[in-house]
A and B are shown apart, each in its own frame.
Chain A
Amino acid sequence: MSGNVYVYILVMALVTYLIRMLPLTLIRERIKSTFIKSFLYYVPYVTLAVMTFPAILSATSSPWSGLAGFLTAAVLSYKGKGLIFVSLCACGAVFLLELALV
């Protein structure tokens, strides 16, 4: 390591904040275009789906426990259970399966 660590930290903090702040403050008006509105409406669903699968399979010690966590979460969410409940049950499923597997 040769560069000043604190400068590194400052650079990354600044870049990351600007990426988040500029769109939020520059887009003040209601967007009129149906295409852009639809696009922004679909963004979270696509982003979260892409980030969840298959990454969840490598988030735990074994792909099988990851899959168990995913299926538990998918089924419970489909049944309309709340965020915390779904999250804790998925963690529980992983924990129990790993007790049996590892």
Chain B
Amino acid sequence: MKSDPFREWVRGCKNGIPIGLGYLAVSFSFGILALRSGLTVGQSVLISALNLTSAGQFASLSVIAASGSYIELALSQLIINLRYCLMSASLSQKVDRAAPFFHRFFMAFGVTDEIFALSVSTHGALSPYYTYGQMTVAIPGWTLGTLLGAVAGNVLPPRVLSALGVALYAMFCAIIIPPARKNKVLAVIILCAMGASVAFTFAPLLKDISSGTRVIILTVAIAALAAWLRPVKEEDAP
């Protein structure tokens, strides 16, 4: 499939708007928290610009504030962000084969939960420019939100901040639910995944597992079980 880079980029920017909005809200609270942890405005913005990851950045604040070792920081980032490894592996199969290889080095920087979700759900092969379009909106949203949060922690009314909090989750629903309408297996998998996630959030012992690790354990277990019980036929494969 031949795709026009510019049109793919524009499509990425457009679909990236909810990501940008959600990031603005989430990184806003990161900015507030970073300053409270003793970082400067510049350092908070630098973290956001270089990392582009929510859970990992929030976790890093507690390690930095507690003067943890560099190894401890590296390990915490590795565990919390290990899910990106699965996502990148999944994307490696989806990227347009005709696109030059160097694109993968740049696309890699944009592998976040949200950008991955949009990129992998696109029809047919993935044009790097579609991912770049999303990054064009998402990265400034994430960095700017951090800056605003760090500089002026209370410019947005709490009501608006609270409402923006669901933007990303709502987008996830809009990505996973429509394909599940036609595919019963997917519907069952989604329900099982949510059910298991509830168990891991509230059940004794299980609830002590960090959210990053929970995502990895459940993803590997449920996706492997599903792949074993219901292998995907050639024609529906990505």
What is A's interface to B at a CB cutoff of 8 Å? 1-3, 5-9, 11-13, 15-17, 19-25, 27-28, 30-31, 34-56, 59-61, 65-66, 69-70, 72-74, 76-78, 80-84, 86-92, 94-95, 98-99, 102
Contact = CB atoms under 8 A, between A and B. Distances in A.
A35 to B, nearest CB: 5
A72 B74 CA distance: 39
Nearest to B181: A78
A47 B83 contact: yes
Nearest to A62: B162
A38 B91 CA distance: 13
A51 B215 contact: yes
B219 A43 contact: yes
Interface stretch (B2-10, B145-153, B163-171): B163-171
Contacts of A65: 162
A45 B189 contact: yes
A38 B87 contact: no
Nearest to B214: A50
A37 B237 contact: yes
Contact of A60 (B117, B162, B223, B237): B162
Contact of B85 (A12, A19, A83): A19
Nearest to A95: B163
B91 A24 contact: yes
B93 A43 contact: no
A41 B237 contact: yes
Chain B: interface size category: 35 or more
A95 B160 contact: yes
A22 B202 CA distance: 34
B227 interface: yes
A49 B176 contact: yes
Interface in B130-177: 158-160, 162-177
Given A9-B47, A84-B17, A45 B231 contact: no
B172 A12 contact: no
Contact of B50 (A3, A13, A24, A53): A13
A94 B166 contact: yes
Given A3-B68, A9-B46, A83-B171, 17 more contacts: A12-B50, A12-B56, A13-B47, A22-B85, A23-B88, A24-B95, A25-B105, A35-B227, A39-B224, A42-B222, A45-B190, A52-B194, A70-B170, A70-B173, A74-B177, A91-B164, A92-B163
B232 A8 contact: no
B35 interface: no
Contacts of A23: 85-86, 88-89, 92
B206 interface: no
A5 B44 CA distance: 10
A90 B162 contact: no
Contacts of B82: 19
